[in-house]
Amino acid sequence: MKIFYSDAHLQHNPPFEIFDGGEKIPNFEVPERAERILSALKATSWAEILTPEDFGLEPILAIHDANYIDFLRHAYDEWLLSATDADYEKTALLPATFPPAGWRRHVPKSLLGRAGYYMMDLSAPIVAGTYPAALASANCALSGAKTLSTNPTATAAFALCRPPGHHAGKANCGGYCYINNAAVAANWLAKLGKTALLDIDFHAGNGTQDIFYQRADVLTISIHGDPDFEYPYFCGYTDETGAGAGQGFHRNFPLAAGADDVIYNAALSEALGLIRTFGARYLVVSAGMDLFDGDPLGKFKVSRAGIARIGHEIAALKLQTLIVMEGGYNNAALGKNMVTFLENFA
Residues tagged active-site: 167
User: Is 185 within 8 Å of 145 (Cβ atoms)?
Assistant: yes
Distance CA 159, CA 143 (A): 8
Sheet holding 250-255, edge to edge: 48-50, 2-4, 156-159, 320-325, 282-287, 195-199, 218-225, 250-255
Kindly report the CA angle at 92 between 58 and 139, in degrees rounded to 5? 25
**C-alpha torsion 320→38→295→312, nearest 10:** 30
Taking the CA atoms of the chain, what radius of gyration do you get in angstroms?
19
CB-based contacts of 153, cutoff 8 Å, min separation 6: none
Whole-angstrom distance, CA of residue 120 vs CA of residue 98? 8
CA distance 205 to 223: 9
Residue-level length of the chain: 346
Residues 6 or more apart in contact with residue 277 via CB below 8 angstroms: none
Question: What gap in Å lies between CA 147 and CA 64, rounded to an integer?
Answer: 23
**Residue 254 backbone dihedrals phi, psi, to 5 degrees:** -75, 130
Q: Name the DSSP letter for residue 294.
A: T
The dihedral over CA atoms of 81, 86, 91, 95, expressed in degrees to the nearest 10, equals -90
